[in-house]
Chains A and B, each alone.
Chain A
Amino acid sequence: MSQTIEAPRTPAIPNRSKGTNWEKWGWIYMRASGVLLVVLIFGHLFVNLMVGDGVHAIDFAFVGGKWSDPFWQVWDGLMLWLALIHGGNGMRTLVNDYAHNRGLRGTLKIAILIAVVVLIVLGTLVITTFDPCPAGSPADLLPSICKGL
């Protein structure tokens, strides 16, 4: 007796011969960004949680010290963009798989898109406009590079 498997619910895509195959590029993006994110996030976790006093040492001065260096600005900026788009695309996959109602599916995907865009804009602004030595703040809360300014 041969065992049968139900036909998939997702209908066949009628015409794939024209235009960009976005699903293919999404598939490639998940793998390419995934490899980079392993390096970026493992580095992030090692420097922030393993070196020195780890999580206990994280405060404004710690972040200010890191982002005074363009190296960490680029590192964290790359992590921000790659991770949010990777995560947003992953969530889109789950919504497509589990939200069977067409309207709900559209709403959830728009919500994911808004969250990703808003946080990319916010995060990029924070990294690029950050001032490690804000005027009028107590000196003991600021990174050591602020002394003598």
Chain B
Amino acid sequence: MSAKTAGTPPVSATTSKRPAGTLYRGREGMWSWVLHRITGVAIFFFLLVHILDTALVRVSPEAYNAVIGTYQTPIMGLGEVALVGAIVYHAFNGIRIILIDLWKKGPKYQRAMFYVVVAVWVITMLAFVPRHLMNVFGH
């Protein structure tokens, strides 16, 4: 079966070594997808833990405070930077996926949109990380 997408020439008619029109094979299209899966799994497992730790408010104030106190240690503070980084990437790349699927010009600009995701991720993290590290290490 040869890879063919409407509007793109077969790979034999080009000088390319890769089939054309494969958005999710190689380069930005694939790596953004790989990152989306990895961050998604990480966020899912954190979510399971986070619901359980929050449920401790129903046990006693002391139990909740003891566990949430471990979220305020320096090591967990760095973990929260990684967690927020994963969430912010998953959020912005998710919007990129929606645009690829629903916006007429989405597939054409998917590569450019990936770099927009990276840029907006950097800006968001620049706003978050210094503030968060001040809260973690400043006490």
Contacts and interface: CB of A to CB of B under 8 A. Distances in A.
Interface in B1-51: 1-3, 10-12, 17-19, 37, 40-41, 43-44, 47-48, 51
Interface residues of B, number: 49
B64 A60 contact: yes
A123 B52 CA distance: 8
Contact of B55 (A53, A58, A122): A122
A141 B65 contact: yes
Contacts of A122: 51-52, 55
A83 B116 CA distance: 25
Interface in B44-97: 44, 47-48, 51-52, 54-55, 57-58, 60-62, 64-65, 68-69, 71-72, 77, 80, 84, 87, 91, 94-95, 97
Interface residues of A, number: 49
Contacts of B18: 3
A62 to B, nearest CB: 9
The A interface, classified by DSSP as helix, strand, loop or mixed, is: helix
Interface stretch (A15-23, A35-43, A101-109): A35-43
12 contacts: A4-B2, A49-B84, A55-B80, A56-B139, A58-B68, A60-B57, A60-B61, A80-B51, A87-B40, A88-B44, A90-B41, A138-B61
A84 B11 contact: no
A137 interface: yes
B94 A34 contact: yes
A10 interface: no
Nearest to B137: A56
Interface string A112-149: 00010001001101100110001001100110000000
The 6 closest A-B pairs by CB, nearest first: A54-B135, A60-B61, A87-B44, A141-B61, A2-B12, A38-B91
A50 interface: yes
